[in-house]
């Protein structure tokens, strides 16, 4: 492991932490869009401004993720930082809203931290591959479209599981974006920035990231963030790991797959007991502070 590896992980974590806090800010003010064009008039433009701040925070993850993927080859490693990013959201709640951790949350945080470090510790750079199976990529994307299409249809008919349906779509979009950035890197023959942006895959990655933002907002509108956030994070972590095997023929070690599973378990445990105030969008302390300023 060299300095590039640790720098990539740090950048990915910083982006994930900023993104997760930004999601909380967005959730806090997503209902302002019920005013339609009224969002540009007082008093709603203040709420719209806060939502835009959250949007900018979440958007910062794109450049951070892209930079991290230039330094380390595996999208599954950078996406695993989303677990630690979720921890940052909970810690933000403790400091800003003065929430207290319960035992279940401590267990969730411990699972995420230990599993993430296990995933990183057993990473072997020399095992990275540079091959790309386009047919398998299309097969994987087709399978995801069918799965999410069926899930969305089920949610629409039954009027249930809106948070899971849209959260999973958003998480998959983000995971696919990470994979597409790596594909662009392979086609460009390395980390040459100008060459990468001449590849169509990088623009599909950007569109996928935009789609993730849209589906996240729909999920926030229709359901609690307590459901949307862990679902999105789990899919964001697991999709790159699966697609790496399918698209690049890259195998993680068994202990790394176990670590991915434990990260997802930790996210579920953490969010099932996490601060309802944070994950359901009750950022009243933040709103008051912003108003006072």
Query: How far is CA 5 from its chain centroid?
Result: 20
Question: Do the Cβ atoms of 111 and 266 come closer than 8 Å?
Answer: yes
Of 288, 171, 180, the C-alpha closest to 228 is 171
- Tell me the average pLDDT across 226-248: 79
Flag whether pLDDT at 129 surpasses 60.
no
Q: Residue 157 burial (CB < 10 Å; 0-12/13-18/19+)? A: exposed
Flag whether pLDDT at 143 surpasses 50.
yes
| DSSP string for residues in 32-84 | GGGGGGGGGSTTHHHHHHHHHHHHHHHHTHHHHHHHHHHH-S-HHHHHTHHHH
The secondary structure of residue 253, as a DSSP letter, is -
Beta strands in the chain (DSSP E): none
Higher pLDDT, 258 or 120: 258
Residue 245 CA: distances (Å) to CA of 23, 45, 130, 184, 211? 30, 46, 12, 17, 24
Global confidence as pTM = 0.69
Question: Which pLDDT does position 283 carry in this prediction?
Answer: 46
Tokens of 85: 């990013």
The secondary structure of residue 197, as a DSSP letter, is T
Q: Looking only at Cα atoms, what is the longest distance across the chain? A: 57
Q: Say if residue 43 is preceded by a cis peptide, omega within 30 of 0.
A: yes
Question: What SS3 state is found at 279?
Answer: helix
Residues of the chain with pLDDT > 90, as a percent, come to 7
Q: For residues 167 and 17, what is the distance between their CA atoms, to the nearest angstrom?
A: 18
Tokens of 228: 């949307």
Tokens of 41: 């008039």
Higher pLDDT, 7 or 106: 7
Tokens of 225: 């963030």
Over the stretch 150-204, which tens digit does the pLDDT of each residue have? 989 998 898 888 888 898 899 899 889 888 888 887 776 655 555 556 678 888 9
Residue 293 CA: distances (Å) to CA of 53, 289, 290? 14, 6, 5
Q: How many helices (H) and strands (E) does the chain have?
A: 14, 0
Flag whether pLDDT at 225 surpasses 70.
no
- Residue carrying structure tokens 């599909």: 204
């Amino acid at each position: 492991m060299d300095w590039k590896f640790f720098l990539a992980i740090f950048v990915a974590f910083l982006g994930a932490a900023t993104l997760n806090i930004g999601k909380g800010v967005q959730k806090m003010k997503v209902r302002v869009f019920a005013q339609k064009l009224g969002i540009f008039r007082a008093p709603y433009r203040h709420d719209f401004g806060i939502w835009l701040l959250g949007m900018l925070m979440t958007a910062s993850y794109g450049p951070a993720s892209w930079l991290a993927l230039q330094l380390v080859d595996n999208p599954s490693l950078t996406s695993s930082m989303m677990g630690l990013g979720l921890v940052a959201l909970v810690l933000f709640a403790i400091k800003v809203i003065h929430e207290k951790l319960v035992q279940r949350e401590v267990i969730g945080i411990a699972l995420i931290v230990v599993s993430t470090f296990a995933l990183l510790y057993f990473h072997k750079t020399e095992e990275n591959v540079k091959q790309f199976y386009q047919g398998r990529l299309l097969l994987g994307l087709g399978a995801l479209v069918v799965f999410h299409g069926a899930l969305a249809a089920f949610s629409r008919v039954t009027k249930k599981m809106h948070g899971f349906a849209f959260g999973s779509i958003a998480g998959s979009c983000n995971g696919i974006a990470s994979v597409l950035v790596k594909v662009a890197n392979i086609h460009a023959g390395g980390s040459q920035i100008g060459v990468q942006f001449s590849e169509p895959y990088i623009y599909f990655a950007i569109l996928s990231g935009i789609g993730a933002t849209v589906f996240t907002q729909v999920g926030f509108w229709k359901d609690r963030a307590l459901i949307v956030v862990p679902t999105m994070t789990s899919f964001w972590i697991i999709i790159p790991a699966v697609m790496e095997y399918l698209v690049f023929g890259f195998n993680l070690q068994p202990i790394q797959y176990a670590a991915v599973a434990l990260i997802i378990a930790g996210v579920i445990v953490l969010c099932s007991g996490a601060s309802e105030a944070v994950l359901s969008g009750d950022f009243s302390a933040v709103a008051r502070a912003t108003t006072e300023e």
